[in-house]
Every structure is written in structure tokens, then in C-alpha cells.
């Protein structure tokens, strides 16, 4: 205990606190800029860690990471553009609330849910890291395939008013993932001899295009109509709207469930925060008392999505630290940073580097506190963006989206992808087809192909591998039950008509 | 009244659901037919690079046909009046390739603001200059990401 | 009014394009180098192992040159997009260098049918290399690769070996199998991390990651053992693990990272650059940074590097053809 206090004391140095402050601010701002994602923010912070102690380096990177994921929700609420793919679900309710003038309340919900899930994630990381890691290793190719199928089924069954539109949207997403190099051998598909097409449809530009650019088109269309009718399209913001803690905690069921989904998905190598937030959002809608509010501006929806994607952050450290297996690109960068510090993550890190791990745990909680305080200040300032007339705001957003899309890979091809995705997103919005299933299909498409082929190779084309383990059987039962109950509901509704 | 109707109706295109569904199905039919020429056969009797494209394309085609049948009575309205914004994004794209990013963003912001009915010249000037400057500060100075240049910056 | 505005703006945009042609002059070969900012193109995403190497080179070079050295990530196509962009550049002025890796230069042009070959480059120098090893979990009965080969010969097609399908590791392991007549099945993975996950989770029996260091934590804990190394000499951190050469297989290989410029760069400038960059690559500062990144500083001068790449390109071409992986 004395040594623990000593470590805590040594962690609370001015340098570490300043690093966390700077990292949090930087992460939040980069996360909030459409097109720039958290991976880029963390990568930019790497050269700074060359000159830091291990705990300091981890503190800086964790601050950038967690706040970057949170920052994505700020632009999701204010501009209708998810700053990171993980915030795509937050857009539906957050932006709807901002349109009604309740942006402050939506931002509060996103912030509180993020901090809540962050604390849950950190606690679980500390208590059960090695146990969860062993469980995660049991996820072979067949279990991964079923997890992807499960995510797709959940999202397309629940996300949309019409079952068919949801399914079509997710299969379009899956087909976007088949362009470019195939995930197994890298052999080109549908490239038509153009080398740029090898990278296929790039995720971030697609995200920016489908959400942001299409929104500019929609708003311009609204503007032309409003002009013809002599109305204004600018919505005054309700300055007093805020979320009371009492209301926030009335969603405790959703919060806890979403955080746990986030932690679970985060512990699996290879699945990221977007999957978690999509699944948890759909589950929340399924079990909510007011499912009709989802998509129209439901605080519960924001909580579900944000709690899940921030729950992932804490859990992402589990495979990283205990197995030395980074689960996604961001933790892969952190792995690189740790190696540069002379630390090898893996089974021995807890015994050999125990002090560093304890220091890391302490800094993770400091990060949560900074997130709460900074988020509160940032929200207050940034809500003013909505008071800018749309005629000025949207041209500026267009430029930012353009710059953000370009800078991911420094190529104009990505900008073209963004423009095409923008037109596609506009068509989606006009035929009332949900964008979310397309996005999740796209994100999971190559993962699904890879794990499906891997399972078939492993079992020599024998489909029984999909019921070959207890986890796989559980997944199959859940999927069948979900589809069945949906059909049952559909039949019942038809009979009543 | 008369003017309002004229503007409102201009550029609106109404398409029946069956046309939307059939259009999507047609795209996927073409993609399915392209698979043999566009996807190289890789090792593996079943587990090769063509399995997934075939699976996805055929599913999508069936679903799109279902969409066409289910929504044949629905009508979807597209507003072609958004072309100035599509044009703006294309202007920015081609402008960046020739003139360079910063110059063309000044032009495109001014153009978009005029299209959104801003007529106050100093607001236009201020926005169209300040935005690229802040992008320069944030991206190039702050994060060392260089925006593309053409014959100008 | 609207149309007037549109016409006006289009005019502003189109007019300069008319003057755009011919305004660019050919860059003359400079004797002084470097006099301005240098760009290192990294064909991998920010934060990866190659990117960290590139950033280490940049930080050392910047301190020596006194002018900025910037890393630009041009990711995509399994590192072929950035590589091809440099390969096909006609503006070789010495200020844009590729941080090239073996896969993109010697393997992928064959398997993917790309528009470049090592002839499109002039090498400036090899920077570093890694130790490639064969790993498996500690509970497997094999203690050296010879044990595995005998087992695989007795049970043809029974064992799954995880490596990127059609990638460098696949080709090298296939060569080893061809030498001995052992038969195995490939369990395809995308990167070293996935490879380790497959090995630890028991999905595959043997793993051939690009660098055995991916499992360093498990090796230290005794959960994973290294059966053999592909490199010429034993690794300092694994004194007990033999190389394939020692075991009597005529196979040695170490994946490298090199600096390259497009072939359009004038020869006189290339000579000058080789000298300037040699000092950077051989500097103790860089060696320290590379060692931290688990890369072995392994300098080869420009001419040697060029020969190595061309030889490996030819060798791999033949193996890939015989394995039936070549693009038509």
C-alpha cells in the first residue's frame, strides 16, 4: 500500500499533468475536426515521446487517444459530422437535438456518458485484465465471423424504419469493402488498372462525404426552398438547455450495458470502437421504453453510442498490455511507442514493469477527470458555432472536410472519394435509407471476408466450424433468436392491420 | 406566389421507387458480370478472392429487386437545385490540382457564400481569407501536413 | 444573378490553367545538397514500424542538414501506392526520397502485376534490417525446425502455418518446404499481430512473422519458442536459436528498409546524395533510435543496395512463378 501511494505521488508531477492537459486538448480538437481521426492525432504525438519517460509517454498518448474519441462526438452533435467513425451513431440523435436547439444538452449527454464509460473501462482493465485477455484469445476465425454477422444483423434489423432498406444499406456497405485489394492475398479487385483504386474506397473520406458533404447539399436544398418561402433556416439555440445528473443517471441501464459492450468488444483484438457503438446503439433502441425517440433526438441514444465507444478505450489496453497484441491501429501505435521506451508488452510486463503499469492506471483516471473538465469548457465555447449563420458555416465546413480528407493519405484520390460519397449520401437521405448500416457493413466487410475465408481454410471447407465451440454456438443461438423475434413482431403487426 | 412556385418546382425530380430499385440492381448486375475480368483467381478451390464479391453482388441484386417491388408505389424526390454545391466541391477538387489548395479555397468560399445569399462584401472577404489561414496554421504549422500546391499556393 | 456568379468563378478557375503548361522549368542538377526541405515518402500509415523508422531518419537528418526533413505518409495498396508514385516520378530532384521495404520492391510487383520494377529506382543506401524467425507455442513437440519438417513430412498437409498469403514469408517458407519435401497448409493472416494472435490462440501450428520481435513478450515469458532464424547470424537476444544456415539449409534472408530516389534523378546528384545520406545512416544517433525500434542498423552503400534489390527481385520472380502466384 505504501508503495502504491508512492507511485501515485510520483505520478502527480507537474510534467505529467501538463502533458495530459496538452494531450487532452490536442486530442479533443483533432478528434472534432471532420476527416482528421484519432489515429492521426496519436501518430503526431509519437515523436514527442522519444524524449519522455515511459509513464509520461503513456500518459500523453492515452490523453490524446481518449479525448480524441470523445472529441469525435462534439462535431457529430454540432455539425452532423462524426469526427471519428466511432461517433457515427451519435450523429443521429445528437444532430437532431442540435437542430431542435438543444445542442448543449446533447453535448452534456455525450460528455457524461464518455466519462462514465471511461471510468468503467479503466476499472475493468485493472480488475480483470488477464482473465479477459485469455477469453479474447478464444476468439478464433469462426467466432470472429459470427461476431461480424451478429453486428450486421443487429444494426440492419433495428436501425431503420424498413427492414428491406436496412438490409440493402448494409449489403451496399459490404460491397464497398470488396473494391480494392482483397484482404487475403492483396490481389486487385475492380481497380480497372488504376493504382489509386488499389486502396479501394477509403473509410474516412467516405464517412466525411456521406455525413458532411451530403448535409451541405441537403441544407442548401432546404435553404433554396426556405428562400422561396421567405423563411430563415437558422435555428436559435436554447442557451439554458442542459442535462441534469438526475436525468442522466435515469439511463443507468443503458449506460452500464453500453459500457460493458464497449469493454467486451475492446478486449477482442481486431474490433474497434465503431463496432461497439453500433451494436450498443441498436441494442439500446431495442430495449428502450421510447424506441420511437431514437433518431429524433434521444438522450438515451447518445449515451448508448458514446458510452460504448469510450468503453472500448480502456479495454483496448487489455490485449495490448497482457498479450502484447494491439487490437487496432491506435493501440498498435502505442505498442510501437512502448517498444521505443524499451518496454515489451506481454505476459511479463505486469511483474517486470509493475510500477509503470500502476502509474499508467493512475494516469488513466487523471485523464478521465481532465476529459470532464476540458469537455465542459470546450462544449460551452463550441456551441457558439451554431450561432454562425449557415451561409458562412457551411462553406467553411466544406473546406475543412476537404483538407481533412486529403491529409489522411496525402492524396487527391481520397478527396474524389469524399465528393462521390457526398452525392451518394444525398441520395440516401432523399430515399430515407439509413446510412449507419452502410457504414458498419463497410467497416466490417473486409473483416468478415477475412475471417470467413480463414474459418473455411482452417476447417477445409467444412461449415461445421461455425458450431464448433461454445462461443460460436452461443452466437448462432442469439442471431437466430434475434431474426426470429423480428419476424414474429413483423407478422404480428401485419395481423393487427 | 407565382414566383415561389416556379422556384420551388424548378430542379425537383420525382422518381418512382421501382426505378431506384432497378437502377441499384442494374449496377450490381454489371459488377457481377465484371467479376471474372476484374478479380484475379487466387489459390484455393472455394476460398479465393472471388467468393466474397459473388456472394455480396448476388445478395445486393436480390435485395435491390425486393426494394423495387416493395417501394414501387412510393415516390422519391431529388432536388437537382443542389448543383451549385456539387459544382463548388468539384471546383475545389480541380482548382486544387491546378491552382493549389489555398487559392482555390479562397475562391470556393466566396462562391459558396454568394450562393447562400451573403451580399456583405467584408464578411465574404474575411471568411474566405481567414479560413485558409487557420487551416495553414493548424495543418502545416501545427501538424506538419502540407496541402497540395499548384501553379500558385 | 446566380448564373453570372457561376460563370465568373469558373472563369477565374479556368484561366490560369491555360498558362499552367510550360511554366515549369526542368530542375537543374545542383551541386549543393541539401539546400531546401527534403520529403521522405513513407508508403505505410503513420505509427507503423516503417513510419517510426522514417521519422527517426527524419529527425536525425533534420538536425544535420539544418533544413526541414518531413515524413509524408502515402498509405494504401499494401505499400505499393506510395512506392509506385516515387517510381514513376519524372521529377527526380533528390528532395523526395522513398523509404522502401522489401515487399513492395521485390515481391509485390510480381504477385500484383505492377507498373514498376527496381529499374525505376536508384538506391541511396540500405538503412536497417530485421531478424525473421519461425515461432510456435511452447507446448508444441518441436524444438528445432528440423523436428517440424520431419513431422510435416510424416503428416503431409496436417499443419497450418500462418503467414501473409503470397507475401515474403510465404515465399521463403515455401522455399524451405521445397528443399525438404515437407507439405503444409497456409493459414493466411494480414500482419505480424494477427499472426501472433493465431499462434497463441492455437488456430495455426506455426507462425512466420515478419519479425520474431512481435512475440518478444511471450518469448521472454517462455510461452512461445523460436525454432529458427532466417538471418545470417544468430540474434543477440536469442543466443540459443540457430539460423537456418547452421541447420544446413541454404536459405538466409533479412527484410530490409532502404532509401531510394526515382531513376529520373541525375547520376551526379545521386553520387552526392549517397555521401550525404551515408553520414546520416551511419550516425550513432540514428543507430540508437533504430535499436529502440527493434531494427538492426545494417548499412549498405547505394551501389550494393541496388545490386541486392535487383538480385532479390529476379530470385523472387522465379519462386513466385513456380508457386503459381504470379500475375499474368
Contact assignment for B151 to C324 by CB distance below 8 Å: no
pLDDT score recorded for residue A304: 92
Pick from A67, A17, A157: nearest CA to A378: A67
pLDDT tens digit string along A264-281?
Answer: 888 887 777 888 888 899
Sign, CA dihedral A250-A252-A255-A258, equals negative
Answer whether residue C48 shows pLDDT above 80: no
- More confident of the two residues C29 and C194: C194
pLDDT score recorded for residue C9: 66
Contacts of B120 (CB under 8 A, 6+ apart): none
- C133-229 belongs to which CATH class? alpha beta
pLDDT score recorded for residue A175: 92
Chain C, residues 99-138, CB within 8 A of chain A, namely: 108, 111-115
Neighbours of C304 (CB within 10 A): 13
Answer whether residue C29 shows pLDDT above 50: no
pLDDT level of residue C31 (50, 70, 90 thresholds) = low
- b (16+ CB within 10 A) / e for A348-358: bbbebbebbbb
Mutation for A interface: B16, B28, B82, B138, most A CBs within 10 A: B82
Other chains touching C, judged by 3 or more CB pairs under 8 Å: A, B
Q: Count of CB contacts below 8 A, A vs B?
A: 188
pLDDT score recorded for residue A258: 93
Chain C, residues 161-190, CB within 8 A of chain A, namely: 164-167, 185-190
A422 to chain B nearest CA, in Å? 9
Mutation for A interface: C5, C39, C47, C219, most A CBs within 10 A: C47
Contact assignment for C16 to B91 by CB distance below 8 Å: no
Chain C, residues 54-83, CB within 8 A of chain B, namely: 70, 72
**Which chain C residue shows the shortest CA-CA distance from A270?**
C194
Between CA C209 and CA A231 the distance in angstroms is 63
Chain C CB contacts of B111 below 8 Å: 5-6, 9
Whether B12 and chain C come into contact, CB under 8 Å, resolves to no
Taking the domains of chain A in order of start, what are their residue ranges?
2-496
**Which chain B residue shows the shortest CA-CA distance from C20?**
B151
pLDDT level of residue C141 (50, 70, 90 thresholds) = very high
Q: Count of CB contacts below 8 A, A vs C?
A: 158
Answer whether residue C132 shows pLDDT above 80: yes
Taking the domains of chain C in order of start, what are their residue ranges?
38-130+255-323, 133-229
**Which chain A residue shows the shortest CA-CA distance from C83?**
A195
Cα A118 to chain centroid distance, Å, stands at: 14
Mutation for C interface: B93, B104, B151, most C CBs within 10 A: B151
- C38-130+255-323 shares its CATH topology with C133-229: yes
Answer whether residue B3 shows pLDDT above 70: no
Q: Which of A2-6, A132-136, A262-266, A303-307 has the lowest mean pLDDT?
A: A2-6
Answer whether residue C23 shows pLDDT above 60: no
pLDDT score recorded for residue C277: 92
% of chain A with per-residue pLDDT over 90: 20
Between CA B130 and CA B113 the distance in angstroms is 14
How, if at all, do strands C296-301 and C121-129 pair?
Answer: antiparallel
Contact assignment for C188 to A140 by CB distance below 8 Å: no
CB distance A26 to A60 below 8 Å: no
% of chain A with per-residue pLDDT over 70: 97
Kindly provide the ipTM of the predicted complex, given to two decimals.
0.90
Chain A CB contacts of C193 below 8 Å: 269, 325-326, 332
Sign, CA dihedral A366-A372-A377-A378, equals positive
Chain A CB contacts of B7 below 8 Å: 224, 227-228
What is the mean predicted confidence (pLDDT) over C86-112?
87
Chain B CB contacts of C42 below 8 Å: none
- C38-130+255-323 belongs to which CATH class? alpha beta
Between CA C65 and CA C51 the distance in angstroms is 20
Whether C235 and chain A come into contact, CB under 8 Å, resolves to no
Answer whether residue B7 shows pLDDT above 50: no
B24 to chain C nearest CA, in Å? 28
**Which chain B residue shows the shortest CA-CA distance from A164?**
B67
Between CA A284 and CA A368 the distance in angstroms is 24
**Residue listed under C-alpha cell 531510394:** C260
Cell readout for C149 is 519438417
Answer whether residue A133 shows pLDDT above 90: no
Amino acid at each position: 500500500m505504501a508503495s502504491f501511494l508512492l507511485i501515485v505521488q510520483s505520478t502527480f508531477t507537474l510534467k505529467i499533468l501538463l502533458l495530459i492537459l496538452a494531450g487532452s486538448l490536442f486530442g479533443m480538437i483533432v478528434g472534432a475536426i471532420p476527416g482528421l481521426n484519432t489515429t492521426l492525432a496519436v501518430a503526431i504525438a509519437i515523436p514527442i515521446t522519444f524524449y519522455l519517460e515511459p509513464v509520461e509517454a503513456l500518459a500523453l498518448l492515452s490523453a490524446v487517444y481518449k479525448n480524441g474519441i470523445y472529441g469525435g462526438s462534439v462535431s457529430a452533435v454540432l455539425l452532423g459530422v462524426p469526427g471519428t467513425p466511432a461517433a457515427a451513431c451519435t450523429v443521429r440523435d445528437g444532430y437532431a437535438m442540435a437542430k431542435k436547439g438543444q445542442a448543449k444538452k446533447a453535448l452534456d449527454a455525450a460528455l457524461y456518458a464518455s466519462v462514465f464509460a471511461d471510468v468503467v473501462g479503466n476499472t475493468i482493465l485493472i480488475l480483470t485484465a488477464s482473465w479477459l485477455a485469455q477469453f479474447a484469445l478464444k476468439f478464433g476465425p469462426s467466432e470472429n465471423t459470427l461476431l461480424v454477422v451478429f453486428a450486421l444483423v443487429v444494426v440492419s434489423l433495428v436501425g431503420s424504419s424498413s427492414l428491406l432498406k436496412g438490409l440493402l444499406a448494409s449489403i451496399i456497405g459490404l460491397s464497398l469493402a470488396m473494391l480494392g485489394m482483397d484482404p487475403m492475398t492483396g490481389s486487385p479487385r475492380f481497380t480497372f488498372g488504376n493504382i489509386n483504386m488499389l486502396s479501394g474506397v477509403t473509410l474516412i473520406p467516405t464517412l466525411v462525404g456521406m455525413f458532411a458533404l451530403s448535409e451541405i447539399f441537403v441544407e442548401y436544398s432546404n435553404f433554396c426552398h426556405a428562400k422561396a418561402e421567405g423563411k430563415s433556416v437558422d435555428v436559435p439555440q436554447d442557451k439554458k438547455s442542459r442535462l441534469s445528473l438526475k436525468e442522466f443517471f435515469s439511463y443507468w441501464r443503458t449506460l452500464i450495458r453500453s459500457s460493458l459492450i464497449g469493454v467486451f468488444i475492446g478486449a477482442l483484438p481486431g474490433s474497434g470502437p465503431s463496432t461497439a457503438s453500433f451494436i450498443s446503439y441498436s441494442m439500446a433502441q431495442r430495449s428502450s421504453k421510447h424506441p420511437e425517440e431514437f433518431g429524433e433526438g434521444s438522450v438515451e441514444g447518445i449515451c448508448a453510442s458514446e458510452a460504448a465507444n469510450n468503453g472500448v478505450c480502456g479495454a483496448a489496453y487489455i490485449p495490448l498490455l497482457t498479450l502484447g497484441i494491439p487490437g487496432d491501429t491506435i493501440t498498435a501505435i502505442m505498442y510501437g511507442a512502448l517498444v521505443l521506451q524499451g518496454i515489451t508488452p506481454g505476459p511479463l510486463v505486469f511483474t517486470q514493469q509493475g510500477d509503470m503499469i500502476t502509474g499508467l492506471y493512475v494516469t488513466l483516471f487523471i485523464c478521465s477527470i481532465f476529459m470532464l473538465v476540458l469537455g465542459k469548457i470546450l462544449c460551452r465555447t463550441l456551441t457558439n458555432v451554431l450561432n454562425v449563420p449557415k451561409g458562412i458555416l457551411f462553406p467553411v465546413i466544406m473546406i475543412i472536410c476537404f483538407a481533412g480528407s486529403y491529409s489522411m493519405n496525402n492524396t487527391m484520390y481520397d478527396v474524389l472519394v469524399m465528393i462521390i460519397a457526398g452525392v451518394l449520401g444525398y441520395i440516401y437521405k432523399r430515399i430515407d435509407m439509413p446510412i449507419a448500416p452502410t457504414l458498419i457493413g463497410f467497416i466490417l466487410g473486409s473483416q468478415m471476408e477475412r475471417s470467413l475465408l480463414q474459418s473455411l481454410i482452417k476447417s477445409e471447407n467444412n461449415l461445421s466450424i461455425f458450431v464448433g465451440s461454445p462461443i460460436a454456438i452461443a452466437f448462432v443461438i442469439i442471431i437466430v433468436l434475434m431474426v426470429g423475434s423480428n419476424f414474429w413482431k413483423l407478422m404480428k403487426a401485419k395481423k393487427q392491420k | 406566389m407565382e414566383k415561389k412556385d416556379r422556384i420551388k418546382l424548378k430542379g425537383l425530380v420525382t422518381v418512382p421507387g421501382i426505378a431506384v430499385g432497378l437502377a441499384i440492381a442494374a449496377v450490381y448486375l454489371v459488377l457481377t458480370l465484371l467479376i471474372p475480368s476484374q478479380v484475379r483467381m487466387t489459390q484455393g478451390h472455394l476460398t479465393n478472392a472471388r467468393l466474397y464479391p459473388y456472394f455480396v453482388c448476388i445478395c445486393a441484386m436480390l435485395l435491390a429487386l425486393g426494394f423495387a417491388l416493395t417501394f414501387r408505389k412510393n415516390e422519391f424526390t431529388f432536388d437537382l437545385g443542389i448543383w451549385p454545391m456539387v459544382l463548388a466541391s468539384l471546383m475545389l477538387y480541380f482548382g486544387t490540382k491546378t491552382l493549389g489548395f489555398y487559392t482555390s479555397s479562397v475562391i470556393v468560399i466566396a462562391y459558396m457564400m454568394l450562393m447562400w445569399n451573403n451580399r456583405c462584401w467584408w464578411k465574404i472577404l474575411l471568411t474566405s481569407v481567414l479560413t485558409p489561414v487557420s487551416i495553414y496554421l493548424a495543418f502545416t504549422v501545427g501538424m506538419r501536413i502540407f496541402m497540395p500546391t499548384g501553379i500558385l499556393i | 444573378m446566380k448564373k453570372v456568379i457561376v460563370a465568373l468563378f469558373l472563369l477565374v478557375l479556368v484561366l490560369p490553367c491555360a498558362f499552367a503548361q510550360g511554366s515549369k522549368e526542368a530542375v537543374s542538377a545542383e551541386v549543393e545538397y541539401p539546400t531546401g526541405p527534403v520529403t521522405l515518402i513513407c508508403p505505410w500509415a503513420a505509427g507503423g514500424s516503417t513510419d517510426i523508422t522514417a521519422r527517426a531518419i527524419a529527425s536525425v537528418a533534420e538536425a544535420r542538414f539544418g533544413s526541414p526533413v518531413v515524413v509524408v505518409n502515402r498509405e494504401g495498396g499494401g505499400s505499393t501506392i506510395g512506392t509506385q508514385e516515387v517510381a514513376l516520378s519524372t521529377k527526380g530532384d533528390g528532395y523526395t526520397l522513398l523509404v522502401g521495404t522489401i515487399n513492395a520492391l521485390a515481391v509485390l510487383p510480381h504477385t500484383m502485376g505492377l507498373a514498376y520494377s527496381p529499374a525505376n529506382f536508384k538506391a541511396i543506401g540500405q538503412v536497417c534490417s530485421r531478424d525473421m524467425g519461425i515461432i510456435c507455442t511452447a507446448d508444441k513437440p518441436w524444438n528445432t525446425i528440423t523436428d517440424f519438417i520431419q513431422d510435416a513430412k510424416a503428416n503431409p498437409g496436417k499443419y497450418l502455418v500462418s503467414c501473409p498469403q503470397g507475401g515474403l514469408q510465404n515465399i521463403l517458407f515455401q522455399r524451405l518446404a521445397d528443399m525438404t519435401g515437407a507439405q503444409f497448409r497456409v493459414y493466411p493472416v494480414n500482419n505480424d499481430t494477427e499472426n501472433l494472435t493465431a499462434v497463441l490462440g492455437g488456430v495455426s501450428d506455426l507462425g512466420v512473422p515478419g519479425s520474431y520481435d512481435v512475440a518478444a513478450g511471450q518469448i521472454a515469458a517462455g510461452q512461445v519458442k523460436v525454432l529458427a532464424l532466417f538471418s545470417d547470424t544468430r540474434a543477440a537476444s536469442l543466443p540459443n536459436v540457430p539460423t537456418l544456415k547452421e541447420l544446413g539449409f541454404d536459405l538466409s534472408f533479412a527484410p530490409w528498409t532502404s532509401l531510394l530516389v526515382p531513376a529520373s534523378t541525375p547520376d551526379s546528384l545521386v553520387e552526392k546524395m549517397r555521401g550525404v545520406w551515408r553520414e546520416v545512416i551511419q550516425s550513432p544517433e540514428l543507430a540508437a533510435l533504430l535499436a529502440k525500434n527493434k531494427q538492426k542498423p545494417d548499412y549498405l552503400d547505394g551501389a550494393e543496395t541496388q545490386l541486392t534489390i535487383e538480385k532479390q527481385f529476379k530470385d523472387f520472380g522465379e519462386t513466385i512463378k513456380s508457386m503459381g502466384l504470379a500475375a499474368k
